[in-house]
Amino acid sequence: MKRVIYARRGGLEAIEIVEEENPIPKANEVRIEVHRAGINFADLMMRQGLYGAAPDFPFTPGYEISGIIREMGSDVTGYAEGDRVVALSGFGGYSEQVVVDVNRVWPLPDNVSFDAAAAMPVTYLTAHHMLVYLGNFKPGDSILVHHAAGGVGTATAQLAIALEAGNVYGTASANKADFVEAQGMIHIPRGDDFVKRIKDESGGVHHALDPVGGKHIMESYRALRNGGRLYVFGASSAVKGPKRSILTALNMWRTTPRFDPIRMMNSNKSISGVHMGMWKDEEVVREQMVSLAKMLELGLIDPVIDSVYRFEDVAAAQQHIHDRGNRGKVLLDFSPK
């Protein structure tokens, strides 16, 4: 089998493809023939050595996959070889064959494509966890989401419709306005004063989803209404392009705000840091994934796919994301030729 590795910290030149024997599943694992693997912005940060939760180099990135079970461990029940599945791989998803704990595997209905399945776990789980599990979302609640044309942005827009949200504001570059508005969001051009506009129009949002980090966090906090909730789930402002920039990363950390708990108390605002890869309660993850899988099967959510690259072209796929060119999810195709 072949798998993608980050051989060392660096730019796109640090990506290599290696060949090795198929992995052997342990008693509670299954081996999945990967057909699609999702790319997340965190994968790009890992390559540059800017993601604290990443393994030591060299390693294979990739949190989410869809494919077919080809081998099962001795303790696995409820599945059969040949079953179509979607899985949270943790790391290692950029590979033709992956072994995954059976508790992080879900059956894939015949009417759901491998593309849609691989585009769902990280982005939709992250958005659902923030809004529903942490946010106690209520119909009519308003939302602000940044990078609105990306994976979590489009997932948030669809979940907002399913949850009967009020206004959903989405920031994105001006050339993505039509796309963002087609998803049901109110577009705010990147660089505009989104705090002023939101305050003027609605007095503040109930929920703000911020993957940017740095000084941007405080702006998102200011966009909240009394009782609002801010979720910080990324630090894209630490990445300037394919090459690692120490100055850019340091500036992000330098400008990250420190919040005064007393002032937060007086405004009844709250902040949550969200990293589903580090979430420890497997039952919570499973409950949410079951709910999302049902929504996917019923057509209540339908992941927006920007593009699918063969895994040999993984560098081009990541460059596309660095260029902020994607509208929706970017996937890698590992299916047998």
Q: How confident is the model at residue 52 (pLDDT cuts 50, 70, 90)?
A: confident
Is the same domain home to 114 and 137? no
pLDDT 10s digits, 208-244:
999 999 999 999 999 999 999 999 999 999 998 999 8
User: In this structure, what CATH number is given to the domain that contains residue 314?
Assistant: 3.90.180.10
Is residue 286, in this structure, part of any structural domain at all?
no
Q: How confident is the model at residue 69 (pLDDT cuts 50, 70, 90)?
A: very high
Q: How confident is the model at residue 297 (pLDDT cuts 50, 70, 90)?
A: confident
Contact 168, 186 (CB under 8 A): yes
Is the same domain home to 180 and 192? yes
Alpha-carbon distances, residue 20 vs 2, 5, 96 (angstroms): 6, 12, 10
pLDDT at 327 over 90: yes
Is the same domain home to 109 and 216? no
Q: How confident is the model at residue 278 (pLDDT cuts 50, 70, 90)?
A: confident
Is the same domain home to 48 and 114? yes
Is the same domain home to 174 and 230? yes
pLDDT at 90 over 90: no
At 165 the pLDDT is: 98
pLDDT at 312 over 90: yes
Is the same domain home to 179 and 193? yes
pLDDT at 192 over 90: yes
Is the same domain home to 157 and 252? yes
pLDDT at 11 over 90: yes
pLDDT at 308 over 90: yes
User: In this structure, what CATH number is given to the domain that contains residue 265?
Assistant: 3.40.50.720
pLDDT 10s digits, 70-88:
999 999 999 999 999 999 9
At 337 the pLDDT is: 83
Final residue before a domain boundary, out of 231, 258, 277: 277
Is residue 299, in this structure, part of any structural domain at all?
no
**Spatial distance between the Cα atoms of 140 and 102, rounded to a whole number of angstroms:** 37
Is residue 293, in this structure, part of any structural domain at all?
no
Is residue 283, in this structure, part of any structural domain at all?
no
Q: Based on the structure, what is the number of domains in the chain?
A: 2
Q: Establish whether the linkage from the previous residue to 58 is cis, with ω within 30° of 0.
A: yes
Is residue 221, in this structure, part of any structural domain at all?
yes
Mean per-residue pLDDT for 271-286? Answer: 91
Mean per-residue pLDDT for 82-103? Answer: 96
Q: How confident is the model at residue 34 (pLDDT cuts 50, 70, 90)?
A: very high
Is residue 99, in this structure, part of any structural domain at all?
yes
Structural tokens at position 287: 């409950």
Structural tokens at position 288: 């949410």
Q: How confident is the model at residue 206 (pLDDT cuts 50, 70, 90)?
A: very high
Q: Whole-model pTM above 0.85?
A: yes
Structural tokens at position 137: 């979302």
pLDDT 10s digits, 53-65:
899 999 999 999 9
Who's near 233: CB < 8 A, 6+ residues apart? Answer: 126, 130, 152, 209, 210, 211, 273, 274, 275
Q: How confident is the model at residue 196 (pLDDT cuts 50, 70, 90)?
A: very high
Is the same domain home to 136 and 259? yes
**Spatial distance between the Cα atoms of 311 and 318, rounded to a whole number of angstroms:** 11
Is the same domain home to 326 and 250? no
Is the same domain home to 267 and 311? no
Residue with tokens 């009519």: 140
Is residue 282, in this structure, part of any structural domain at all?
no
Mean per-residue pLDDT for 246-257? Answer: 93
Is the same domain home to 103 and 9? yes
At 104 the pLDDT is: 94
193: domain range? 122-277
Contact 144, 209 (CB under 8 A): yes
Task: Classify residue 53 by burial, with Cβ atoms within 10 Å: 0-12, 13-18, 19+.
Answer: exposed
**Spatial distance between the Cα atoms of 327 and 173, rounded to a whole number of angstroms:** 11
Is residue 295, in this structure, part of any structural domain at all?
no
Is the same domain home to 112 and 222? no
